[in-house]
Amino acid sequence: MKRLILAFVCFGLVSVFGQNPLEKISPKLQLKIHNDSQSDKILIWIYFTDKGNDLDGYYLNPESVVSQKSLDRRAKVLSQSKLIDFTDLPVNQIYINVLLQNGFELKQKSKWFNAVSGYASESEINQIVLNSFVSSIDLVGTFAKKVDDIEFNSSQTGFDNPLQPEGVHTFNYGSAYTQLQISNVPAVHDLGFNGTGVTICVMDAGFDNLPHIAFSNMNIIAKWDFVNGDPNVGNEGDMGEGSHGTATLSIIGGFQEGEMIGPAFGSTYILAKTENTDSETPVEEDNWVAAMEWADSIGVDVTSTSLGYLDYDSPFTSYTWQNMDGNTALITRAGDLAVGRGIVVVNSAGNNYDDPTHNTLGAPADGDSIFAIGSVNSSGLRSSFSSVGPTFDGRIKPDFMAQGSNDYHASSFGNSYSFGSGTSFSCPIAAGICALILQKNPSLTPMEVRNVLRSTSSNTSSPNRLIGWGIINALTAINSVTVPVELTSFNAFYSEGIVNLIWITATETNNYGFEVERRDDYSNYQTIGFVDGNGTTTNRVTYNYDDKNLANNRYYYRLKQIDFDGSFEYSNEVQVDISDLNDFQLYQNYPNPFNPSTKIKYSIPQNSFVKIALHDILGSELKTLVSETVQPGTYEITVDGSDLSSGMYFIRLSSGNIQKTLKISLIK
């Protein structure tokens, strides 16, 4: 206690001149300083007050911060003017240099949290906290691993896994058939989906056997070891050797015909080694945060993380089950930030069994927007070790289930395989299925992917704390995904009482035509028209459809594209808000000036007797164009000026006390 009091006295002297520096140090870190010996180096986060000056250059050139692929992905969830923000800008290097001069040992940087992690002694912390650009200092979250957190491995083969029927599917999955079949993945592969065009980052321990034949055709575009700070993610005699990453990578994307096949074997991969298996605190959140920011900058679409721990052992200061509230753990907040940038973040729920009194989740699986994946066995029953919810704030977790008991995966030796169990192995299956969904419709946001899975998994009608929304059904999910079939674009524009739908096809192969469907907030889709297709031409074709039967409302439109054989698929949905039909409208004629005729549109909000007449410049009525009771909607009339002289005329609409007047010009 004496040493801590001395530190308080030091801080008290400084507080005369400004903020008490002690207030910058979190209670957890103060306790850590009190409990540890004076010579110990402590792993800490240092948060900065700002990022310095001259930041405009980053906003003017977003590709200096992240890749174009990252910007394209962000455009799904962010406006074009806000694809990057303050959190994306680099941490100020001048601040870091000052910390290094204070004895700080840099480990990781975080743009999103404007912070750095690293090691410092008590005396160095006392010096660092005096810097005005330091806003706060906290412990890096560390997690102690318990025996029941470790996957259960076996070299046996077969077990109770049923064999793959011959001739039923495109590929021979070997011993990996069961773990995919329970989620209907082989049927999705039969449709031609394999994750092509989707970038996945696997964040794990060591990838110790990348020469394995299962990875021979895998497209790996980037690798980084965040434990040791080098590009070698395998075993090279440094910290964090391990085979866990080899296993999870093979489960999500490995490919060896007749042996094992992963759901997303056609995807592009980024590998991040984030777990130090050598220490008693094998998971450090700063590695995970740094890896996520790195993957984001490259342009990742899906992340798969088979890490996450809950319990801790003395003297480690870490998170508890009460902290699994979606907002406490830094890695959880980082995961939600990633989702906000358009990344689908998939994480193991954990292997901490069921406790009927509280959740057994591990961060970041508690995140509101993070997909927490539990485990079932080959019979579809929940694995006893699979962690449960709800989160401390009452949200249902896990989100979804996949097979994690007795999964087949690549091993560390040669081209061999083995079986293992754990939510570490259900997670990559689920992440791979997310990649299949994004391949079908790359425009889907993470929340739209989640909604697809929630509406198609096995327990969708009664989600609960044990299995969430249930076992993922990849085939049902894929079939429910709406895409712009044979389209490069589909848009809706509202003007002068008409919604104009415009769509462009990329190819016309086998296109019979399009049913145009419409709904509002209170009704189901109904067909309002049909547009013929253009046969079998391979050229791009532009289509139009005008919806004139409108009221003041919010409308949603979609297209049902039909092939000549009767098969069909739906387009994406477009929305139009109409707010100007509460009043009678008389729209400008076209063409104007005209000769000899012109067209005029008008809108009626309710059943009304309407009179529309043509007047000369003195106000005399020349012609009655409409004189009848009209239903709500938008209409078009033609004014024939063949018998009129050149000059200015007026169109007057009257209904009860309503009058609208329009000036038109005839030139002969």
In a domain, 559, yes or no: yes
Residues whose CB is less than 8 angstroms from the CB of residue 1 and which lie 6 or more positions away in sequence, other chains included: 34
Give the model's confidence band at 21: pLDDT under 50 very low, under 70 low, under 90 confident, else very high: confident
- With 90 as the cut, is the pLDDT of residue 64 above it? yes
Same domain, 502 and 629: no
Per-residue model confidence (pLDDT) at position 242: 77
Same domain, 398 and 299: yes
- With 60 as the cut, is the pLDDT of residue 471 above it? yes
In a domain, 216, yes or no: yes
- With 60 as the cut, is the pLDDT of residue 15 above it? no
- With 80 as the cut, is the pLDDT of residue 61 above it? yes
Q: What's 214's DSSP letter? A: G
DSSP 343-396: -EEEEE--S----TTS----BTTT-TTSEEEEEE-TTSPBPTT------TTS--
Per the structure, the complete domain to which residue 520 belongs is given by 487-578
Same domain, 330 and 410: yes
Cα separation, 379 vs 77, whole angstroms:
38
- With 80 as the cut, is the pLDDT of residue 311 above it? no
- With 80 as the cut, is the pLDDT of residue 283 above it? no
Same domain, 591 and 649: yes
Per-residue model confidence (pLDDT) at position 153: 55
- With 70 as the cut, is the pLDDT of residue 158 above it? no
Same domain, 270 and 367: yes
Instruction: Quote the distance between the C-alpha of residue 443 and its chain's center.
Output: 10
Same domain, 355 and 429: yes
CATH of residue 493: 2.60.40.10
In a domain, 178, yes or no: no
Per-residue model confidence (pLDDT) at position 498: 85
Exposed, middle or buried by CB within 10 Å (0-12, 13-18, 19+), for 17?
exposed
Instruction: Quote the distance between the C-alpha of residue 368 and its chain's center.
Output: 12
Per-residue model confidence (pLDDT) at position 312: 47
Per-residue model confidence (pLDDT) at position 222: 97
- With 80 as the cut, is the pLDDT of residue 278 above it? no
Per-residue model confidence (pLDDT) at position 238: 73
Give the model's confidence band at 280: pLDDT under 50 very low, under 70 low, under 90 confident, else very high: very low
Cα separation, 229 vs 225, whole angstroms:
5
Report, as an integer, the average pLDDT of 560-573.
Answer: 81
Same domain, 126 and 241: no
Q: Which of 547, 578, 609 is the last residue of a domain?
A: 578
Per-residue model confidence (pLDDT) at position 47: 97
- With 70 as the cut, is the pLDDT of residue 152 above it? no
In a domain, 177, yes or no: no
- With 70 as the cut, is the pLDDT of residue 275 above it? yes
Same domain, 394 and 447: yes
- With 90 as the cut, is the pLDDT of residue 336 above it? yes
Give the model's confidence band at 582: pLDDT under 50 very low, under 70 low, under 90 confident, else very high: low
First and final C-alpha spacing in the chain: 101
In a domain, 558, yes or no: yes
- With 60 as the cut, is the pLDDT of residue 634 above it? yes
Q: Which of 543, 578, 613 is the last residue of a domain?
A: 578
Report, as an integer, the average pLDDT of 257-279.
Answer: 90
Nearest to 366 by CA among 335, 344, 338, 340: 335
Kindly report the average pLDDT of the chain as a whole number: 87
* pLDDT, tens digit (0-9, with 9 covering 90-100), for 164-223: 888 789 999 999 999 999 999 999 999 999 999 999 999 998 899 999 999 999 999 999
Give the model's confidence band at 552: pLDDT under 50 very low, under 70 low, under 90 confident, else very high: confident
Number of domains making up the chain: 4
Nearest to 283 by CA among 292, 274, 291: 274
Q: What is the pTM of this model?
A: 0.72
Same domain, 593 and 449: no
Task: Give the C-alpha distances (Å, rounded to integers) separating 479 from 171, 191, 441, 483, 652.
Answer: 20, 10, 11, 10, 53
Q: Half-sphere exposure (CA, 13 Å, Cβ side) for 432?
A: 32
Per-residue model confidence (pLDDT) at position 142: 66
CATH of residue 649: 2.60.40.1930
H or E element, residue 662: strand 658-666
Instruction: State percent of the chain over pLDDT 90.
Output: 59
Same domain, 295 and 402: yes
Same domain, 612 and 660: yes
In a domain, 170, yes or no: no
Q: Which of 553, 578, 603 is the last residue of a domain?
A: 578
* pLDDT, tens digit (0-9, with 9 covering 90-100), for 592-628: 889 999 999 888 888 899 999 999 888 889 999 999 9
In a domain, 168, yes or no: no
* pLDDT, tens digit (0-9, with 9 covering 90-100), for 362-381: 999 999 999 999 999 999 99
Same domain, 417 and 491: no
Report, as an integer, the average pLDDT of 482-501.
Answer: 76
- With 70 as the cut, is the pLDDT of residue 1 above it? no
* pLDDT, tens digit (0-9, with 9 covering 90-100), for 414-465: 999 999 999 999 999 999 999 999 998 888 999 999 999 999 999 999 999 9
Nearest to 122 by CA among 271, 221, 2: 2
CATH of residue 97: 3.30.70.80
DSSP 114-167: TEEEEEE-HHHHHHHTT-TTEEEEEEPPEE---GGGS-EEE----TTPPPPPTT
In a domain, 82, yes or no: no
More confident residue, 509 or 639: 639
